[in-house]
């Protein structure tokens, strides 16, 4: 048994060896990998080749991406392309330009209004405030009645034309923590992709806010840490999966992720194979009173934008007290995070048997784009729900 545990530990220690030493120039862009993967999969952006995440995005491009994020606008755009009106809404928008149908639909649904001089200026860079307004209007968010919110990631100002839109973005957690955006600054493609991705996920999942980390809010000069999405026990059943084995970590936006036990847990190939469909599993199963390990990638090559390459990249943002939901054999097992820590890569204690009873352990290489350490999240069982 000891030799088997050691073999598994050695294999996991090598889990991301192929990703080491090549990331220094890509760290900033890698923050957008989930957004790029989701938007390209949905056909909203072209994720192939160079997506130019650090390049500026202009107003026409921003409008197109925001509109394509919702099916109702896609249908209208298709209809508009086949029956364009003869005259343009704006003097600087030619009807034979690729962006003309998007401008027509955007104006019809109130996403854009143009500048006071009547122009749209499609080639201008889009400012954060402008993107916030277009994005919140596209989802008919109640910006006029939104409680004022601000954060260091995107400082807001009261009584400005964009105040409500920015407040809604904070309430929806649609601003990446640490972004350091400014309402009057121009956006990069990566920044816009991430904001659209977060808002789209909120509305697709019909949840109050995006689950991947929470900004620090400041209201009337009083700062407080935003509360991450933690669902009470009474609503735990919404995270039950139809899959035989799956995990949801709503506080970081992981919902219904497939868990697979490797057929060969003693070789690198066997350990890695299951990560193509989600995350892997080792040791005991839920409800058996022992250690359960769920492992996944936190890094990958810069050009690898596959869905699960960096699935555990933000597990450090899971707060103590947050809930983790595991579906297994017709039951939903609810765990509460009790501890987080980093350990050296050669520390094998996480794989050794102990007398602590049932405990869920999330495991990944750390820090992102490195294999020098491991990051572990420990959670203890708090509830079991029988599923029909």
* pLDDT at residue 231 is higher than 70: no
Q: What 3-state DSSP class applies to 232?
A: coil
**Residues facing residue 344 across a β-bridge:** 373
Q: What is the pLDDT of residues 138-162, one digit of tens each?
A: 999 999 999 999 887 888 988 899 9
Characterize 2-25 residue by residue with b for buried, 16 or more Cβ atoms within 10 angstroms of its Cβ, and e for exposed. eeebeebbebbbebbeebeeebee
For helices 59-68 and 189-205, the axis angle rounded to 10 degrees is 20
Please give the pLDDT value at position 365.
Answer: 92
Helix axes of 100-108 and 59-68: crossing angle, nearest 10 degrees:
60
Instruction: Calculate Rg over the CA atoms of the chain.
Output: 23
Residue 333: what pLDDT? 93
CA distance 331 to 329: 6
Rounded to an integer, what distance in angstroms lies between the CA atom of residue 38 and that of residue 196? Answer: 10
Mean pLDDT, the chain, whole residue set: 83
Q: How confident is the model at residue 97 (pLDDT cuts 50, 70, 90)?
A: very high
Q: Residue 321 CB: number of other CB atoms within 10 A?
A: 12
What is the average per-residue pLDDT within 248-266? Answer: 91
Q: Provide mean pLDDT across the span 76-98.
A: 92
Q: What is the mean pLDDT of residues 211-231?
A: 36
**Residue 318 domain-assigned (yes or no):** yes
Residue 91 has pLDDT above 80, yes or no: yes
Tell me the pLDDT band of 230, cut-offs 50, 70 and 90.
Answer: very low
- Tell whether 120 is covered by a domain: no
Least confident of 70-79, 180-189, 373-382: 180-189
Domain extent for 340: 2-24+230-386
Average pLDDT for 112-136: 91
Query: In whole angstroms, what is the distance from residue 345 CA to residue 9 CA?
Result: 10
Kindly tell me if the per-residue pLDDT of 208 is higher than 50.
yes
Residues 33-62 have a mean pLDDT of: 87
Alpha-carbon gap, residue 25 to 99, rounded angstroms: 33
Answer yes or no: are the C-beta atoms of 119 and 135 closer than 8 Å: no
Q: Which residues contact 265 (CB under 8 A, 6 or more apart)?
A: 8, 11, 271, 282
371: domain CATH number is 2.40.260.10
Tell me if 182 is assigned to some domain. no
Contact 68, 43 (CB under 8 A): yes
Structural domain includes residue 315: yes
Category of 341 on φ-ψ map: left (φ > 0), alpha (ψ -120 to 50) or beta? beta
Q: Are 178 and 153 in contact (CB under 8 A)?
A: yes
Query: What is the residue whose two structure tokens read 């545990």?
Result: 5
pLDDT tens sequence across 266-324: 888 899 999 999 999 999 999 988 899 999 999 876 545 567 888 999 999 898 888 99
Answer whether 134's CB lies under 8 Å from 62's CB.
yes
Region for 114 from its dihedrals, namely left if φ exceeds 0, alpha if ψ lies in -120 to 50, beta otherwise? left
**Per-residue pLDDT for 329 more than 70?**
yes
> What pLDDT is recorded for position 20?
32
Looking at 50-59, 79-88, 248-257, 370-379, which range is the least confident one?
50-59
pLDDT of the residue at 49: 63
The tokens for 54 are 């650090």
Is residue 13 within 8 Å of residue 295, measured between CB atoms? no
Q: Which band of pLDDT confidence, cut at 50, 70 and 90, is reported for residue 237?
A: confident
Rounded Cα–Cα distance for residues 375 and 337 (Å) = 14
DSSP assignment of 318-363 equals: PPTT-EEEEEETTEEEEEEEEEEEEEETT--GGGS--SS-SEEEEE
Question: Does a structural domain hold residue 202?
Answer: no
Q: Considering the domain boundaries, does residue 50 fall inside one?
A: no
Label residue 26 by pLDDT band (50, 70, 90). very low
pLDDT value, residue 222:
33
User: Sorting pLDDT into bands at 50, 70 and 90, what band is 174?
Assistant: very high
Instruction: Please report whether residue 61 resides in a domain.
Output: no
CA-nearest of 218, 225, 212, 222 to 156 is: 218
The DSSP symbol for 175 reads S
Residue 352 preceded by cis peptide, ω within 30: no
Number of domains in the chain: 1
């Amino acid at each position: 048994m000891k030799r088997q545990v050691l073999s598994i530990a050695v294999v996991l220690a090598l889990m991301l060896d192929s990703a080491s030493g090549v990331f220094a120039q890509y760290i900033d862009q890698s923050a957008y990998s989930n957004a790029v993967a989701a938007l390209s999969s949905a056909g909203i952006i072209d994720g192939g080749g160079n997506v130019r995440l650090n390049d500026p995005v202009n107003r026409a491009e921003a409008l197109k991406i925001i509109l394509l994020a919702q099916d109702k606008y896609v249908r209208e755009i298709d209809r508009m392309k086949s029956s364009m009106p003869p005259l343009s809404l704006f003097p600087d928008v030619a009807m034979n330009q690729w962006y003309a149908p998007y401008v027509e639909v955007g104006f019809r649904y109130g996403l854009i209004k143009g500048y006071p001089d009547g122009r749209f200026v499609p080639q201008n860079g889009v400012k954060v405030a402008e993107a916030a307004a277009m994005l919140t209007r596209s989802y008919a968010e109640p910006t006029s009645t939104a409680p004022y919110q601000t954060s260091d990631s995107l400082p807001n100002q009261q009584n400005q034309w964009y105040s409500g839109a920015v407040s809604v973005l904070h309430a929806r957690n649609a601003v990446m923590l640490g972004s350091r955006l400014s309402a009057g600054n121009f956006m990069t493609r990566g920044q816009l992709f991430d904001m659209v991705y977060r808002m789209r996920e909120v509305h697709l999942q019909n949840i109050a806010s995006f689950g991947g980390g929470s900004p620090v809010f400041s209201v009337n000069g009083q700062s407080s840490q935003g509360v991450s999405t933690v669902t009470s026990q009474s609503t735990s059943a919404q995270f039950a999966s139809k899959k035989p084995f799956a995990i949801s970590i709503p506080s970081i936006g992981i919902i219904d992720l497939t868990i697979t036990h490797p057929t060969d847990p003693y070789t690198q190939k066997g350990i890695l194979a299951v990560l193509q469909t989600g995350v892997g599993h080792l040791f005991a199963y839920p409800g058996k009173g022992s250690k359960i390990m769920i492992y996944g990638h936190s890094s990958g090559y810069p050009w690898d934008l596959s869905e699960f390459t960096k699935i555990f990249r933000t597990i450090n943002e899971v707060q103590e007290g947050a809930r983790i939901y595991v579906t297994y054999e017709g039951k939903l097992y609810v765990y509460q995070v009790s501890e987080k820590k980093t350990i050296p890569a050669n520390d094998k204690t996480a794989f050794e048997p102990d007398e602590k009873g049932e405990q869920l352990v999330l495991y990944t290489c750390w820090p992102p784009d490195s294999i020098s350490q491991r990051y572990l999240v420990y959670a203890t069982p708090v509830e079991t729900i029988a599923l029909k």
